[in-house]
Structure 1
Amino acid sequence: MPHNRVDVAMRELIALFSCLESADLVDRLARTAAAVAGTTYAGLVRVDALRQEAHCMHLHAPAGDPLRMRRWLAESGVLKELAASSATVLLVQGRSVGEPGFLATPVPAAMVDHTFVWVAGRAFGDGDAHLLSRFATAAGRALEAASGLEAAVRLLRGVRAFRPA
């Protein structure tokens, strides 16, 4: 009987820790960043450890992507700028030259290397940068917590697998 209790307790703990999906968390973070910034575009960018390349982890955009942000991110050089930067990046809005207005800030997290949360689609100022920076801190904590839960599930499955019968 004690082994059955252990099995049930382990299954329940694993189920509880497994309920958070990383992809859903990243999507919700991007959607919330857009809402916080009062725009419809937001996302996360990850920079490699050598700070040579950046790629878009997630992009939240309205249906049809009217500002063509996917294309702009790929062609504008902003990803190269983020790869080289460790600070907030603010690009002014210039619709006549195809600049949508862009603000990105680093996500401070020990376990998530070189990630930026960004918003785009309007003119941004210092107040927006401060607010997005505070949001990025919360996002970093959330990403670290999700990573920690995933690691805990792997460890618990190992304990369960090697527990004496």
Structure 2
Amino acid sequence: MPYNRVDVAMRELIASFSCLEPAELADRLARTAAAVTGTAYAGFVRVDALRHEARSIHLYAPPGDPLRVRRWLAESGVLKELAAVSVTLRLARDPSMGEPGFLATPVPVAAWDHTFVWVAGRGFGDGDEHLLSRFATAAGRALEASSGLEAAVRLLRGVRAFRPA
């Protein structure tokens, strides 16, 4: 088969756009949110467009989940609270009641309605809220860029598939 410059160029472009996996990006972002705020827990929650239901779309936690945040998220009602609000939500830490301390802020992502990044595991203050809000903006840009690259890959594969031989 002769060297085909177009095939090589398309293959290289698709490979470079495909190097970022959405699940890996969400994990990296959650891990970094936890590190930035000095916690061991972080994740993302997406609320449906009608604001009836919120669901966890990614959770980063230490092995064994010592604060049992995974269970707390499912049972505490915090997801219902996130479904009802469109602003930052801060809940105090109260170990005697099993409250780990929680901070969630909206992620400005045009492609997805009502997404929050959250951190948990200690008491949070105004400085943490500001820091997480700034991080949420960067995370939103990264998620949108990732989504745009995925769409570009699909389009490029279509161009490659229908290109005349």
TM-score, length-scaled by structure 2: 0.97
Cα deviation code 1:73-128 (max 9, x no counterpart): 00000000101110000001111111110000000111122110000000001110
The equivalent residue for 1:151 is 151
Structure 2 distance, partners of 1:3, 1:161, is 17
Alpha carbons of structure 1 residues 3 and 148: separation in structure 2 relative to 1, 3 Å: farther
Letter in 2 for 1:25: L
- Map of 1:43 onto structure 2: 43
Equivalent runs, 1:47-126 vs 2, <5 Å:
47-126=47-126
- After the TM superposition, which parts of structure 1 deviate over 2 Å for at least 4 consecutive aligned residues? none
CA shift, 1:15, in A, is: 0.4
Alpha-carbon distance in 2 for matches of 1:141, 1:3: 38
Q: Distance in 2 between matches of 1:3 and 1:83?
A: 55
Unaligned runs of 5+ in 1: none
Of 58-67 and 129-138, deviating more is 58-67
Question: TM-score, normalising length from structure 1?
Answer: 0.97
Residue identity in the other structure for 1:15: A
Q: What CA deviation, in whole Å up to 9, does each residue of 1:112-149 have, x standing for no partner?
A: 22110000000001110000000000000000000000
Structure 1 contact 103–120 (Cα < 8 Å) conserved: yes
Task: Give the secondary-structure state (helix, strand or coil) at the position aligned to 1:43.
Answer: strand
Shift of 1:2: 9.9
Matched residues, number:
165
Equivalent AA in structure 2 for residue 11 of structure 1: R
Q: 2:22 matched to which residue of 1?
A: 22
Q: Is 1:136 aligned to residue 136 of structure 2? A: yes
- Separation of aligned partners in 2, 1:60 and 1:19: 22
Paired with 1:82 and 1:44, the residues of 2 have a C-alpha distance of 11
By how many angstroms is 1:157 displaced?
A: 0.3
* Mapped partners of 1:22, 1:50: distance in 2: 25
**C-alpha root-mean-square deviation of aligned residues, in Å?**
1.4
Equivalent-residue separation in structure 2 for 1:160 and 1:58 (angstroms): 34
CA contact (8 A) 1:112 1:144 kept: no
Provide structure 2 residue ranges, at least 5 long, that are not aligned to the other structure. Answer: none
Identity %: 82
